[in-house]
Amino acid sequence: MTLKLPKLDYGRVTEEIVEFIKKTVENSGASGVVIGLSGGVDSSLTAVLCSRL
């Protein structure tokens, strides 16, 4: 059985995630974000996305 993955526009998906983070921060009344870094993939990716705000 072959697994078929959907085609993704990674640039568009990245921008949607960044916009979600930006709106969430703005709606909270915060002036920025604070994240904990463990050095793993999840926290590293979160740091990169938040740096694009």
What is the four-CA torsion angle of 9, 10, 12, 13, rounded to 10 degrees? 110
State the Cα–Cα distance between residues 45 and 9, nearest whole angstrom. Answer: 17
pTM score of the predicted model: 0.79
Domain boundaries, the chain: 10-51
Token digits for 47? 């740091």
- pLDDT, block means (10 residues), the chain with 53 residues: 90 97 96 93 95 92
Dist. CA 25–CA 19, nearest whole Å = 10
